[in-house]
């Protein structure tokens, strides 16, 4: 998948020196027990998978109103003089804000633990399955995804209560990978391994929003029409009630006039009932 070899620098650095170490633009180095290790050049598919997962994580967090962020290529300190650069990490917004406020490389220190990390395998894929998995496990990262396009597999490593080491589960094409921490975050393996461009997803989301807006407008229009009908029916009921009240008033007036006439006739000595 990757053409360029992995280069290891002979220079040894402490973690503090690593944070301020000047590197060539566009080149990323991990720190492995004090040694700088140049990260391999990524393929187009690798980049698409990273962008897709980051986008899907962010969409999920927004939909669930979770104050979390998903960020690509941010460092995670795993040992005294070791710092890895996962393809994607998930952490709290406040933690990421702290990292952004500091000078030097963007690296989460020991006390700044991400909730989830993702590695998309490349030339040094064995390290993702062994060294990095052991390091992420040891520092207590609760969830670790290994996305392996070459082997058509996503391996999910998760911390379970009372268990010392990661529980490991593999997902293959046709399966849906489900996050251990976020049960409603479910992604088809096929879509992760062969993702659409994020630009396409943005257009797709825009079209979906437009459809939802049209549906909402139609619902509002129907609601307005229902309200107008209800108002018209209420006005009609009020009109009928007014007519009925007027009829009752006229009937009462007629009855009062009849009673008054009967009283006058009786005063004249005439029995009203004998009058035809």
DSSP string, 67-116: -EEEEES-EEEEETTEEE--SEEEEEHHHHHHHHTSSSS-EE-TTS--SE
What residues does 171 pair with on adjacent strands? Answer: 154
Return the ∠ at Cα 158 (arms to 152 and 164), rounded to 5°: 130
Q: What is the per-residue pLDDT across 141-192, written as a single tens digit (0 to 9) for each?
A: 999 999 999 999 999 999 988 788 999 999 999 999 999 999 999 999 999 9
Distance CA 113, CA 39 (A): 22
**Angstrom distance (rounded) from CA 127 to CA 153:** 16
Band (25; pLDDT cuts 50, 70, 90): confident
pLDDT of 3 higher than 50: no
Under DSSP, the state recorded for 2 is -
What pLDDT sits at residue 121?
A: 94
Closest CA to 188 of 171, 205, 165, 208: 171
pLDDT at 1: 37
pLDDT band at residue 265 using 50, 70 and 90 as cut-offs? confident
pLDDT at 58: 93
* Most confident region among 22-36, 82-96, 262-276 by mean pLDDT: 82-96
Has residue 9 got a pLDDT over 60? no
pLDDT band for position 86 (cuts 50, 70, 90): very high
The pLDDT value given to residue 113:
94
CA-to-CA separations, 105 to 17, 36, 100, 271, in angstroms, rounded = 10, 14, 9, 115
- Sorted by sequence, the CB contacts under 8 Å of residue 118 that are 6+ apart come out as 50, 53, 86, 87, 88, 89, 144, 145, 146, 147
Q: What is the pLDDT of residues 220-252, one digit of tens each?
A: 888 888 889 888 889 889 998 899 898 889 888
Residue 4: pLDDT band (50, 70, 90) is very low
Quote the pTM value: 0.71
pLDDT tens digit sequence for 192-227: 999 988 776 677 777 777 887 888 888 888 888 888
d(CA 102, CA 76) in angstroms, rounded, equals 15
> CA torsion 7→53→79→142, rounded to 10°?
-150
Q: How far apart are CA 130 and CA 143, in angstroms?
A: 15
């Amino acid at each position: 998948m990757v053409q360029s070899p992995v280069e290891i620098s002979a220079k040894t650095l402490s973690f503090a020196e690593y944070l301020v170490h000047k590197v060539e633009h566009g080149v990323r180095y991990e720190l492995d027990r004090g040694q700088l290790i140049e990260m391999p050049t990524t393929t187009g598919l690798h980049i698409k998978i990273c962008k897709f997962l980051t986008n899907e994580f962010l969409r999920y967090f927004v939909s669930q109103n979770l104050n979390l962020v998903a960020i690509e290529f941010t460092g995670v300190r795993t040992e005294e003089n070791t710092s890895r650069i996962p393809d994607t990490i998930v952490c709290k917004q406040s933690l990421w804000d702290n990292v952004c406020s500091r000078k030097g490389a963007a690296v989460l220190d020991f006390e700044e633990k991400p909730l989830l990390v993702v590695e998309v395998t490349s030339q040094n894929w064995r390290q993702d399955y062994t060294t990095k998995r052991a390091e992420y496990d040891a520092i207590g990262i609760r969830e670790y995804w290994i996305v392996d396009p070459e082997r058509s597999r996503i391996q999910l490593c998760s911390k379970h209560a009372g268990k010392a080491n990661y529980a490991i589960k593999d997902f293959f094409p046709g399966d849906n990978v489900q996050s251990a921490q976020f049960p409603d975050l479910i992604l088809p393996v096929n879509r992760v391994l062969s993702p659409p461009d994020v630009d396409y997803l943005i257009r797709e989301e825009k079209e979906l929003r437009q459809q939802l807006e049209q549906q909402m407008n139609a619902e509002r229009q129907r609601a307005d029409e229902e309200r107008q009908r209800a108002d018209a029916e209420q006005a009609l009921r009020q009109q009928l009630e007014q007519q009925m009240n007027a009829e009752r008033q006229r009937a009462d007036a007629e009855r009062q006039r009849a009673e008054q006439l009967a009283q006058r006739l009786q005063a004249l000595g005439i029995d009203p009932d004998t009058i035809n």
